[in-house]
A and B are shown apart, each in its own frame.
Chain A
């Protein structure tokens, strides 16, 4: 098993380059990742993940939430960050930098994913 396979479940090794930046622990941190990302970074993550997210959810759904190993927990965090970045790429597009200026004022204080980590 190489380092990449240990970082994420083997079927999702293509997402390994995005773990360091996008696999954040909390919803607020994931929203912040989106806020400070640049267009190229968002596009790269989105394009790599968009077809893998349904498979990743199916993989994780097949295992109990409290039984995930560290690689599966990282995969969940990446998928949750995808929820944020997809809004930028699919909806706001070229207006994302302008939209990002307003979002930090809406301070995320709680999310179910944070409570049950």
Chain B
């Protein structure tokens, strides 16, 4: 491997503070640590759950499950075009308003007693409402926070978040706005459940050390090469709780005939749409806690890992596209791009589960990370800092219940 691909430890204060010692293994499988993560992180952090193209017009809605909080969240676009996010819970006696995953409707009527809510969350009316001992205006749906960056919808279960989404993303927010996802109109999607802790699952996608072993065939020869046999990134970046990589690509990849054909069919349409000259096309964004986006125009994917329990998670992978299929060639290229990415991720899922099974035994007390796994260390550093801060809040009696 040439010297230019040797990772040089960042001299930022944040990176130097990460240290080099082994990490405790317990936080990757213990129920008590997971319970703290849910309170300290997932119930009060901006989480990507979708894209604005899913709610194209007033009345559009989607529903997302947040298993870690036993919550079902309804995201709507109201008559003014604004997004709203609410607990999918009737404010009468708690019945879930809708069982649908998505759709379009001007109002939501509870099946239990007929309470009806507008898409902006206000209670429109309820049968025999005058017999209640509460004002109608106080009975709107319970809000959570929602905001958009680069077309991506983020929800924060805290109705009064400590930071706006833009404050939270910092400079990365501006970069994301330059990505194709900002103007995406459709997407390919595949989802998975995994017997894996959310960090174990997420960490797999933060290091390239495994590529040559797990993706020897599916990777297609683009991610590793003679001068960079592990496919290590050209650069790492630390941005508060978030982190980035500048991915390395093999200048002479050994592509199969159909890989050449399919990506060759995608490129003309991408060029016609002005999508091939993205400034951050080789940037790989890891937004705290559980979201990835890669800038590559031909496989412009996002991936989030939503925790279900200490040892179970759900992943959602999307490849975003700008515009409907222009022609058969673009349709073919898009189908191939998704199928190839899915092949790679199917291999990841299998090996992640094997790793989780090993950790669950308690055989390892610590996990050793090499310098090229520094992003894993960065994630764990910030997770643990959040958990400790939350514990301090509890000790001070100031934690929100």
A residues whose Cβ falls under 8 Å from a Cβ of B: 27, 30-31, 50, 53-54, 56-57, 60-61, 65, 76, 79-80, 82-84, 86-87, 90-93, 95, 99, 102-103, 105-113, 115-116
Size of the chain B interface, CB-CB below 8 angstroms: 41
10 A-B residue pairings within 8 Å (CB atoms): A50-B258, A83-B335, A84-B339, A87-B340, A91-B256, A106-B192, A106-B346, A111-B335, A112-B334, A113-B334
B325 CB contact (under 8 Å) in A90, A95, A106, A116: A116
A102 CB contact (under 8 Å) in B220, B325, B347: B347
B188 touches A27 (CB 8 A): yes
Q: A57-B265, A86-B258, A95-B217 are in contact. Are A108 and B329 (CB under 8 A)?
A: no
CB distance from A73 to the nearest CB of B (A): 11
Residues of chain B within 8 A (CB-CB) of A92 are 217-218, 343
CB distance from A22 to the nearest CB of B (A): 13
- Docked complex: B308-343 residues within 8 A CB-CB of A: 317, 321, 324-325, 327-329, 331-332, 334-336, 338-340, 342-343
- Would you call the interface of chain B mostly helix, strand, loop, or mixed? helix
CB distance from B91 to the nearest CB of A (A): 31
B339 CB contact (under 8 Å) in A31, A93, A112, A116: A31
A111 CB contact (under 8 Å) in B192, B218, B338: B338
A83→B261 CA distance, assembly (Å): 10
Q: A61-B328, A105-B192 are in contact. Are A91 and B257 (CB under 8 A)?
A: no
Residues of chain B within 8 A (CB-CB) of A105 are 192-194, 346, 349
**0/1 interface trace, chain B 248-273, chain A, CB 8 Å (1 if under):** 00000000111101100100000000
Q: A84-B339, A106-B192 are in contact. Are A99 and B346 (CB under 8 A)?
A: yes
B191 touches A107 (CB 8 A): yes
Residues of chain A within 8 A (CB-CB) of B332 are 53, 57, 79-80, 83
**0/1 interface trace, chain B 184-217, chain A, CB 8 Å (1 if under):** 0011111111100000000000000000000001
A115→B217 CA distance, assembly (Å): 30
Most buried by A among B332, B335, B338: B335
A31, closest chain B residue (CB) = B339
B342 touches A61 (CB 8 A): no
A90→B188 CA distance, assembly (Å): 23
B342 touches A108 (CB 8 A): yes
Most buried by A among B218, B332, B336: B332
